[in-house]
Amino acid sequence: MKGILDTHAFLWFVTDDPQLSVAALAFIVDPRHEIFVSPASYWEIAIKVSIGKYLMTAPFGDFFTSGIQGNDFVILPVGIRHATVLASLTMHHKDPFDRMIISQALAEQMPIVGNDSMFDAYGVERIW
């Protein structure tokens, strides 16, 4: 099964944060699952780092490279198909990064691993 990580799920997984739910952790570490990361996640964190809203424990590039490649995650490039879904989404959720992750999950028919209950308004499966 495939799944895409919400930004917080990615961060909490790679930093061993106890906020990551047991169900989310089990899904991510299951070797039968292919785990994807959206470019929206690293863009979101890059912006938060640049404005001082998030502090990194390692250099940004090193953190994301090791977090993605070191865990055998796959980057899911944003394509026209994803943007097409995004263009049709209602405005239940206003965060543009989350909206892109939702669009990718819907277009690829995969669940989102994340704790944001606002995702549910879009009919996407959510693992938490």
Q: Where are the domains of the chain?
A: 2-127
DSSP 20: S
Our measurement of the distance from residue 100's CA atom to the centroid of its chain's CA atoms, rounded to an integer in Å, reads: 9
* pLDDT digits 0-9 by tens, 87-112: 999 888 789 999 999 999 999 999 99
CATH no. for 2-127: 3.40.50.1010
| Run of H or E including 2 | strand 2-5
**What per-residue confidence (pLDDT) applies to 93?**
78
* pLDDT digits 0-9 by tens, 46-77: 999 999 999 998 999 999 999 999 999 999 99
